[in-house]
Structure 1
Amino acid sequence: MLKIPELAMNRSRKITTVCNGVKRVWSDREDAQHFFLEAMMASDGEEHERNECIFIQLQNGLTYCTDED
């Protein structure tokens, strides 16, 4: 049986992230998640919060993820 996040996730593989003003287009969601998880674990303070914000949005299936409020 499928988990709820898999059912809710957008099937589009193309992801756009904007972190600290830098826009990046990803062809694979898993690559983006891996990048932001690594960045989150290797940082602290405000930088950690920015990466965490993007990572959570990726986990929730968004195709446009930003650290802006």
Structure 2
Amino acid sequence: MNKITTVCYGKEDTWETKEAAEQFFLQAMMGSDGSERDRYTNIYIKLQMGMDFCTDDEY
């Protein structure tokens, strides 16, 4: 299985599983608001779409 790479606020992280990344970003979304929540949401949606390289940029 491919590792998942995320880039949020310019920081690149690598995840062993998609589920671990999704869990992290879901929790981050729930604990934030405004533009911070938007960044986490962008990554979470991309993870849900099956992408293995996700940034906090909008489409």
The TM tier, using the shorter chain, reads over 0.9
In the alignment, structure 1 residue 48 sits paired with structure 2 residue 37: yes
Q: Which has the larger radius of gyration?
A: 1
Q: 1:18 aligns with which of 7, 10, 19?
A: 7
Q: How many pairs does the alignment contain?
A: 58
Point out where structure 2 has 5 or more consecutive residues left out of the alignment: none
User: Aligned with 1:46: secondary structure?
Assistant: helix
Point out where structure 1 has 5 or more consecutive residues left out of the alignment: 1-11
Instruction: Could you list the structure 1 runs, at least 4 aligned residues long, displaced by more than 4 angstroms after superposition.
Output: none
* TM-score, structure 1 as length reference: 0.80
User: Aligned with 2:19: secondary structure?
Assistant: helix
Q: How far, CA to CA, are the matches of 1:31 and 1:13 in structure 2?
A: 13
User: Aligned with 1:62: secondary structure?
Assistant: coil
| Percent of aligned positions that are identical | 50
